[in-house]
Structure 1
Amino acid sequence: MTIPDAASEPPDPPGLSSAEAALRLERNGPNRLPQPDRRNGLRIALGVVREPMLLLLLAAAGLYLLLGDPREASVLLASVGLVIGLTVIQEYRSERALQALRDLSSPRARVLRDGDVRVVSSQELVVGDVVAVAEGDRVPADARVLDDYDLMLDESMLTGESMPVRRQAGPAADVETNRIHAGTLVVRGHGMAEVVATGSATAMGRIGDQLRFQRSPPTPMQLEIRRAVVLFATLGLLVSGLMTGLYVAIHGGWLQGLLAGVTLAMANIPEEFPVVLTVFLALGGWRMARRRALVRRAPAIEALGSVTILCTDKTGTLTENRMSLAEWVTEDGAAPPDRLSSPSQHRLLEIADRACPDRPFDPMELAIRAAATGLGPSSVRVRIHEYPFGKDLLATTHVWEDPYSPELLIASKGAPETIAALCRLSPERTDAVLQAVERMAGRGLRVIAVAVAAWPPGPVALPSTPRDFHFEWLGLLGFVDPLRGGVADAIGQARTAGVRVIMLTGDHVATARAIAAQAGMDRCDSVALGADLERLDDAAVMRCIQDTDVFARVKPEHKLRLVEALKRAGEVVAMTGDGVNDAPALMASHVGVAMGGRGTDVAREAASIVLLDDDFVTVVRAIRQGRVVYDNIVRAIRYILAVHVPITGLALLPLLFGAAPMLMPLHVVFLELIIDPASTLVFEREPAAPGVMRRPPRPPSQRLLDMRTLFGSLGVGLAVFAAVVAVYVLGRSAALPTSQLAALCFTALISGNLGLVALNCRRGDRRWTWRSNPAFWTIVACALGTLVLITRIPSLGIWFRFSPPPVAGSLLAFLAPLAGLVLIEAATRVLRRRR
């Protein structure tokens, strides 16, 4: 490569003002690819009408019309409208939560606004904006390159070509070489580009128009729920058909028999299952996002409850990632940053600043730039080339040309051992340097080295690698990155929850050990090197993992090997990452956690969860919230399974006695107005149990609908049904009229329903408090108030075919199911204590 003429360097691009960008955004709309069509209220309502429960209600209304009972038909049709309204509200809340997550997960871009580089959502970009792109970034919009340093892009997702292509600044008409497209990946170098197309006008947007109606495939949990719904619905329809036949055989009358069969089908089909799963995962992800953890894939919520190993980075995750210069070491000795007394110290800081980009983002480079501002004006130089940091050479090298100097200035900074090798230091001096690094790292400092070289100007080609320069050693710079507040407590919580924390860092051994000790990690004295893993076979790697919680000088390929080894050992692994090369390990882990602040777009796309604040405390909170979401889904499933048992039983019970049905479609509708909100509102709002982070992780093989959950829920439902049977038998023995007996049985059913909600809300180590879940008390008040009205006021009860029963009978019907549930809970607690 020959040295270009300094005059050919493009000027700094001006960018737009915030006011102009806002006007263009309002005029042209957001930079957003075509989205799958959102479900508005009408589409949600149409989807609800297709639900089996609503179809059965409409069928029942038609049967009432055929039977010459328009009053019942009108009540059912009004109930259909009420159920649709309630379901639409719930589904709309879920849709809003999903849209909020989409907005949060939109990529970000570094844009030049008002002369400063800002990080904004890519949706805010407009034509004319100047954006910065660097290795690991997804290009946020179609743009024309204005300034580039060895810029290479992977455009395979657009063109199918696997080889990266070079893009560089050039004439505007030369779209083949200076145009970069939204969605492509920067694999090397960096540059500045002017946005020329956004949203649907981009090449990616035109493809997106063809994908608007594509939907994501169902998750394993959704498939499990669907199988359960199909199974129970099939059984329910078979039983309802059998009931229709028995009713006709005993009482005669096909229309009445069909009505009884429809009522039983409505009581049997657990259509709440998919609603619960959709609402819980959507709102659970939304709640986690409010706690700065963005869930990009719903199965991650389920997997969080099973995590046994949490592999975490150090910089920016355990620490604040806000570096400040704490110490420098030159030939004149060590000194704090506020004591800049010798020429060698001045030279060290100046060259370190020369090895930084014009607009740095790295915390150490920002600290260098802040310290170098006190050096005063420097000579006029022009950067003409950059050798980027790479896994084979842990250093950054910049080449500068000075019109008043006969030589080019080569400034390099990086890992001390790398810079020592570039300077070709003797073994004795290298040992002395590494000992100084060891002492500085032992105090928790992150250490880099700085070197300088010269190169003759003119037509002489620059070497292909910095190793060909003859560098002069200048010294060391030490930076402090303090531990984040709350990290030590979070690691303690993870340990108590049975989650082992392993630190993987590219830092020096002593630095890793110091931070691990401050964080309170186990076995922090034993530190393994990433290079050691390369010399070990798989069995030795597993032995190393069993004995070590801190790994230093770890490269992305080491992370991948550790994740794979942990998975083979049966562990459920969550791993944090931020770089392009971390993407394979993030995807290989059960729960990949990307850094939202300093992470690359590729890392965020590969991860299941994105931390919006890059904070380790947020990871532990996400594990806690994931456990809460899963626990509440299980509680809702238990309740739904249990509550359908007494409803189905009461629909069948009178047939066994040769009596008139106790349950009509309107009664089932009233019950659904309790079941649906309880399933999707009460349980979703249940707070975490006190011991949620004091129990071991959930086994990954545990099914959502296992045999214990199934039979336990059916058993509790049978207990409530037994109480309803007792009320029915006592009412028949007292020769109560059918209307009063129906009111008593319905009272027992409502009481048992509310008792099942309370039992599942307060199961296990939960304490009963009046303020734990206001939604529960709202439903209790509404249900009991309406129950009193329809069972005690004849003019209202006539719509349900009720008449006021004896007060003593009503009290007995209300207390009997609750008493049975209290006895079951007491027996369960006794058995639990004995175990």
Structure 2
Amino acid sequence: MPADLSPAPEAPLAGHGAPEGLSSEQAHARLQRDGPNALPQDRSIGVPALILGVLREPMLLLLAGAAALYALLGDTSEAVLMSASVALVIGTTVFQRGRAERALRRLRDLASPTALVWRDGALTRLDARELVVGDLLVVEEGDRVPADAGIVGAHALSVDESLLTGESMPVTKGPAGTGADAAAQMLYSGTLVVAGRATARVRAVGARTRIGTIGASLSAIPVERTRTQRQLDRLVGVFAVLGLAACVLVVALFWATRGNFVDAVLAGITLAIANIPEEFPVVLTIFLALGAWRLTRLQVLVRRPPVIETLGAVSVLCVDKTGTLTENRMSVQALAADGEQWTAAGPAPPPAAFDHLLRLAALAGEPVPTDPMEKAVIEAAGGSHRPGDGAIVQRYALTPQLPAKTHVWRPQGAARLTVACKGAPEAVAALCRLGADAHARLLAEAARMAAGGLRVLAVAGTEVADDGQAMPASPDGFDFALAGLVAFADPLRAEVPQAVAEARAAGVRLVMITGDHPATALAIAAAAGIDARQATTGDTLAALDERGFAEASAGCNVFARVTPEQKLRLVRALRAAGGVVAMTGDGVNDAPALKAADVGIAMGGRGTDVAREAAQIVLLDDGFASIIAGIRNGRIIFANIRRALRYILAVHVPVAGMALAPLLLGGPLVLSPVLVVFLELIIDPACTLVFERQPMRRDVMRLAPRPAAQPIFSGAEIARALVDGLAGLAGAATAYLLAWRAGLAETEIRALAFTAIVGGNLALLALNRDERGFGGALLADNPAFWIIVAATSALLATALYLPAVAAVFRFSAPAGWMAAAAFVLPSAAICATRQVLRGFRRDAASG
């Protein structure tokens, strides 16, 4: 039995004394004095900047030009109306973009880092903004240093300072008295701990840190131009060129045939405005930003909103077991030592026969444990086996090559050092150099425990002379004696089976990739509902060539004892096979796999800073069900963006057509710039209110994932939108021609034609928000749709039948039945066209 190791119960880093952290009162006073620990941010886009951005858009420039032209002609009422319309369009656009900007700002706030500090004598994790000078900070491998701090204790500390210095090689750090120079005794904000751990006293925060004086900003969420954004930019550019060409032709045609240059310019401006679907990029930006903010309510933090495009297309989801499928709430469930076995049954602690096993298991953990398994060991022993007043003199970290953790302790007042080791049973068995029979018995017992879904660790220990000799380079240099096995229960999250079933129904393949025992992995997979008949181990993967590796990745859904490098290979193999791969991870070594995946998902609770920075998405609750909720909402957001884009393109066809048709037919003009603005004031709110809030289809998670290469606005979608738009144009043109042939006054013809365009607009709005046809669209639950319909109908009735308003728009009130017929004609034409095309598709499918 080793000497009593009763270490100080809360040493932040063994061997460096008790912590002297600040009290809450001290920290609050310093926070008030120095301000939050935050670097200067890029200034948020304010209202003036938003207005300037809107004014640079082609449509607004054309509208402003029309208003100026009316003013030059002395047409004060038209000039005032156009100016008011321009102001209204600007206000609407600024409101929409302001919503997106506020959503992104909230995302930035949520993405702010955290820090582990000593406050009021306890180790506490808090928002890094709350750090103050004098705080005692604890950092370890994978952490981003949140403030400038002087090192007071460290072990095997190595820091990547390339952000500040440009040097790619990590720098070894240590406290004063270890031979480190002044710079090597400091941790700088923004640098990355790549190995070891340290305790450090904060010396500077916020703008007074070294990186703050340089003026860098790390926390801004980047706004990237995705393939879809580039596609829409090109589409808008094409329509802008066509609109400009049509504008020139219309001006020339009108001037040549009607002889009025000013009216010709106004007609050209009207057509150009009608031709430009400038809402495309606005809709995409707003939908992605608001969609990302909505996902945070589901505990899914989207660090890069454009990834939502990919999220709904995920076809393969690679997940870890611990903490994602399970609760990461460990308890010691079983022990085995010297032929004795114990299984937990109620609150009674294990018998004394297992004291040695539990003591060594505790010594192999941290002095102040944060790992759930290490906490469970202390709890199982009733706290009596906490490490004592000794100090850790050597640490051997767990590595992919040796999945075991070893600590060498110097007990207070003892002449010998105690060495404690815990890790994978096969690794510890190798360190103990067991004979063949003992080795087989150990692994068989571990497999029996693991088959019950338990996580199993083997524990070993030894004592060595404290004679000042150098420690071995690896734990293999010690003569270990096996102490036994410790098995932990980690309950499956209650919501996991239902979420797995939903994912499988949606055509998403679930792949578990874990470092745990194969039997444990299979047991948890079976409980979760993951389709798995066997588990492939990392050793098996290592022996495969590229072809065999690809076949294994395609044919197996459970991978156990897998190294980070093998995770990366699995992600690449799954992507090469055509899958859209989402990958979860929490450790430093998971970062390459997270970056390689189509969607990298980091754990917000237990994940390292490196993993969170490598991922596009962070789970705030670490839960598997949140991932499935993210995929479900990703599909909804993608579908709603597609609906909105289809509507925008379709609705511009009748507007542009009715601006051009009277010129070609020699009839009275229908549209003026101010009437096009009226229509734009329907289109813009319709997109951001109706489509952005459109509820999901009931079968959205019973559809197969869309192909990764499928663009958000494909050729088929463009063709569908153009057909709908042409049908609406045919209905509006019919109303126009009938009114013209009937010999009605020009103002009445204009009123009826405009009524038809508005009716077609609302029909397109209804039909594009739901795929079930007109009846289904009207029944779909979306209050915003009815608000838009009611507001538009009221404004149209006011423009037609209130004389003062009708005079401004140059309308005269048509008969009620005529207005109703004109309103319905485009809807009937669109529905009839869709019905005919549906019949053609049925005939083609049956033929």
Instruction: Give the shorter-chain TM-score range.
Output: over 0.9
Aligned AA (1:587): K
Q: Shift in Å at residue 12 of structure 1? A: 2.5
352-361 vs 376-385, which moves further: 376-385
Change (3 A) 1:479 1:542: same
Q: Shift in Å at residue 795 of structure 1? A: 1.6
Q: Shift in Å at residue 19 of structure 1? A: 3.4
Q: Is the CA contact (8 Å cut-off) linking 2:358 and 2:385 kept in structure 1?
A: no
Counterpart position of 1:573 = 581
Q: Shift in Å at residue 619 of structure 1? A: 1.2
User: Is 1:752 aligned to 2:725, yes or no?
Assistant: no
User: Is 1:292 aligned to 2:296, yes or no?
Assistant: no
Equivalents in 2 of 1:735, 1:123: separation in Å? 73
Q: Shift in Å at residue 434 of structure 1? A: 0.4
Equivalents in 2 of 1:600, 1:379: separation in Å? 29
Q: 1:381 aligns with which of 390, 394, 401?
A: 390
Equivalents in 1 of 2:219, 2:587: separation in Å? 30
Q: Is the CA contact (8 Å cut-off) linking 1:37 and 1:212 kept in structure 2?
A: no
Counterpart position of 2:314 = 307
Equivalents in 2 of 1:573, 1:736: separation in Å? 63
Equivalents in 1 of 2:193, 2:549: separation in Å? 33
The 5 Å alignment of 1:520-559 reads: 520-522=529-531, 524-559=532-567
Counterpart position of 2:468 = 459
User: Is 1:623 aligned to 2:646, yes or no?
Assistant: no
25-34 vs 355-364, which moves further: 25-34
Aligned AA (1:442): A
Q: Is the CA contact (8 Å cut-off) linking 1:54 and 1:80 kept in structure 2?
A: yes
Q: 2:645 aligns with which of 637, 643, 661?
A: 637
User: Is 1:267 aligned to 2:277, yes or no?
Assistant: no
Q: 1:277 aligns with which of 284, 290, 294?
A: 284
Counterpart position of 1:73 = 79
Q: Is the CA contact (8 Å cut-off) linking 2:349 and 2:380 kept in structure 1?
A: no
Aligned AA (1:718): L
Q: Shift in Å at residue 301 of structure 1? A: 1.0
Change (3 A) 1:176 1:821: same
The 5 Å alignment of 1:497-516 reads: 497-516=506-525
Counterpart position of 2:4 = none
Q: Over aligned residues, Cα RMSD in angstroms?
A: 2.2
Q: Is the CA contact (8 Å cut-off) linking 2:766 and 2:777 kept in structure 1?
A: no
SS of the residue 1:685 aligns to: coil
Aligned AA (2:512): M
Please list the CA deviations of residues 352-397 of structure 1 after superposition, one character each: whole Å capped at 9, or x if unmatched: 1111112222111121122233437876423333222222221111
Q: Is the CA contact (8 Å cut-off) linking 2:301 and 2:619 kept in structure 1?
A: yes
Counterpart position of 2:42 = 36
Counterpart position of 1:797 = 806
Counterpart position of 2:364 = 355
Q: 1:130 aligns with which of 127, 132, 136?
A: 136
Q: Is the CA contact (8 Å cut-off) linking 1:332 and 1:344 kept in structure 2?
A: no
Unaligned 5+ runs, structure 2 = 1-7
Q: Shift in Å at residue 217 of structure 1? A: 4.6
User: Is 1:814 aligned to 2:823, yes or no?
Assistant: yes
Equivalents in 1 of 2:470, 2:571: separation in Å? 44
Equivalents in 2 of 1:212, 1:436: separation in Å? 49
Please list the CA deviations of residues 100-149 of structure 1 after superposition, one character each: whole Å capped at 9, or x if unmatched: 11111122221222222222222222222222111111111111112212
Q: Is the CA contact (8 Å cut-off) linking 2:752 and 2:822 kept in structure 1?
A: yes
Change (3 A) 1:393 1:214: closer
The 5 Å alignment of 1:195-214 reads: 195-209=202-216
User: Is 1:158 aligned to 2:132, yes or no?
Assistant: no
Change (3 A) 1:32 1:220: farther
Q: 2:687 aligns with which of 679, 693, 697?
A: 679
783-792 vs 102-111, which moves further: 102-111
Q: Shift in Å at residue 26 of structure 1? A: 3.6
Equivalents in 2 of 1:341, 1:258: separation in Å? 92
SS of the residue 1:186 aligns to: strand
Aligned AA (2:155): Y
Aligned AA (2:371): D
Q: Is the CA contact (8 Å cut-off) linking 2:39 and 2:217 kept in structure 1?
A: no
Counterpart position of 1:247 = 254
Change (3 A) 1:292 1:211: closer
Change (3 A) 1:376 1:261: closer
Please list the CA deviations of residues 723-770 of structure 1 after superposition, one character each: whole Å capped at 9, or x if unmatched: 111111111122111111111111111111111111011124994465
User: Is 1:670 aligned to 2:678, yes or no?
Assistant: yes
Q: Shift in Å at residue 42 of structure 1? A: 1.5
Q: Is the CA contact (8 Å cut-off) linking 2:767 and 2:777 kept in structure 1?
A: no
Aligned AA (1:88): V
Change (3 A) 1:342 1:507: same
Counterpart position of 1:3 = none
Counterpart position of 1:402 = 411
The 5 Å alignment of 1:55-66 reads: 55-66=61-72
Counterpart position of 2:453 = 444
Please list the CA deviations of residues 553-582 of structure 1 after superposition, one character each: whole Å capped at 9, or x if unmatched: 111111111111122222221111111111
SS of the residue 1:693 aligns to: helix
SS of the residue 1:461 aligns to: coil
Change (3 A) 1:379 1:129: closer
Equivalents in 2 of 1:307, 1:785: separation in Å? 44
The 5 Å alignment of 1:641-790 reads: 641-764=649-772, 767-768=776-777, 772-790=781-799
Equivalents in 2 of 1:508, 1:830: separation in Å? 57
Q: Shift in Å at residue 445 of structure 1? A: 0.5
SS of the residue 2:701 aligns to: coil
Q: Is the CA contact (8 Å cut-off) linking 2:112 and 2:219 kept in structure 1?
A: no
Unaligned 5+ runs, structure 1 = 1-5
Change (3 A) 1:161 1:213: closer
Q: Is the CA contact (8 Å cut-off) linking 2:402 and 2:427 kept in structure 1?
A: yes
SS of the residue 2:144 aligns to: coil
Q: 1:469 aligns with which of 466, 471, 478?
A: 478
Change (3 A) 1:491 1:827: farther
693-702 vs 505-514, which moves further: 693-702
Q: 2:51 aligns with which of 45, 64, 68?
A: 45
Equivalents in 2 of 1:519, 1:341: separation in Å? 30
SS of the residue 1:57 aligns to: helix
Equivalents in 2 of 1:178, 1:259: separation in Å? 72
SS of the residue 1:375 aligns to: coil
Q: Shift in Å at residue 659 of structure 1? A: 2.8
Q: Shift in Å at residue 481 of structure 1? A: 0.7
Equivalents in 2 of 1:88, 1:398: separation in Å? 60
Aligned AA (1:75): L
User: Is 1:15 aligned to 2:24, yes or no?
Assistant: no
810-819 vs 104-113, which moves further: 104-113
Equivalents in 2 of 1:191, 1:470: separation in Å? 29
Equivalents in 1 of 2:350, 2:208: separation in Å? 57
SS of the residue 2:793 aligns to: helix
Q: Shift in Å at residue 829 of structure 1? A: 4.9
Change (3 A) 1:789 1:379: closer
Equivalents in 1 of 2:222, 2:382: separation in Å? 53
